[in-house]
Amino acid sequence: MIIKLAEHSGFCFGVKEALKKAEQTIEENKGKHDKIYTCGPLIHNKNVTDELEKKGLFIIEGPEEAEDGSVVIVRSHGEPEDFYQKTKAKNIQIVDATCPFVKRIQQLVRDAKTKGFHIVVVGDRFHPEVIGINGWCDNEASVVSNLEEAKAVQEDRLFIVAQTTITAELFQEIVSFFEKEKTEIMIHNTICHATEERQKSCMETAIDSDLMVIIGGSDSSNSRKLYEISKKYCRNTYFIENKETLPLKEVEKCNRIGISAGASTPERIIKEVIATMSELFTENKKDNMMHDLMDEIEKSLRLPRSGEIVNGEVIQVSNREIVVNLGCKKDGIIPRDEFTLEGDQELTDLFKEGDEIQAKVLKTDDGDGNILLSKKKLEVNEHWDEINDALDNKSFVNAKVVKEVKGGVIAVYKEVSGFIPLSQLSDKFIDKADEFMGKTLPVRVTRVDQKRNKVVFSHKAFLSEERQKKVQEIWDSLSVGDVVEGTVMRFTEYGAFVDIGGLDGLLHISEISWGKLKHPQEALKIGEKVQVKILSMNTEKGKISLGLKQNRPEPWTIIDEKYQVGQTINGRIVQIKDYGAFVELEPGLDGLVHISEIAYKRVTNIADEISVGEEVTAKILEIDKERKRISLSIKETLEPPVYQEDAADDEAVEAEAPAEVLEAVEAAPTEAEAPAEEEVVEAAPAETEEMEAPAEENTVDEEVQE
Catalytic residue check, 654: no
453: number of Cβ within 10 Å: 10
28 within 8 A of 36, measured Cβ to Cβ: no
Contacts of 261 (CB under 8 A, 6+ apart): 6, 9, 10, 214, 215, 216, 223, 226, 269, 270
| 348 to 335, 358, 359, 504: CA distances (angstroms) | 13, 17, 17, 64
Contacts of 119 (CB under 8 A, 6+ apart): 109, 112, 113, 134, 137, 140, 141, 142, 158, 159, 161
Please report the sign of the dihedral spanned by the C-alpha atoms of residue 503, residue 509, residue 513, residue 517: positive
End-to-end CA distance of the chain: 112
Phi and psi at residue 160, in whole multiples of 5°?
Answer: -110, 130
142: helix, strand or coil? strand
566 within 8 A of 603, measured Cβ to Cβ: no
Please report the sign of the dihedral spanned by the C-alpha atoms of residue 480, residue 483, residue 487, residue 490: positive
599: helix, strand or coil? coil
Phi and psi at residue 150, in whole multiples of 5°?
Answer: -65, -40
441 within 8 A of 461, measured Cβ to Cβ: no
CA distance 310 to 303: 11
161 within 8 A of 121, measured Cβ to Cβ: yes
Phi and psi at residue 271, in whole multiples of 5°?
Answer: -65, -35
393: number of Cβ within 10 Å: 9
What is the dihedral angle through the alpha carbons of 4, 6, 11, 13, rounded to the nearest 10 degrees?
Answer: 140
Residue (of 381, 401, 402, 378) closest to 448 by Cα position = 381
CA distance 420 to 657: 107
Please report the sign of the dihedral spanned by the C-alpha atoms of residue 458, residue 460, residue 464, residue 470: positive
Pick the catalytic residue from 79, 129, 511, 597. 129
CA distance 269 to 257: 17
CA distance 259 to 269: 12
Side by side, which strands form the sheet with 211-215? 2-5, 256-261, 211-215, 237-240
Beta pairing class for 615-624 and 629-633: antiparallel
Active site residues: 129
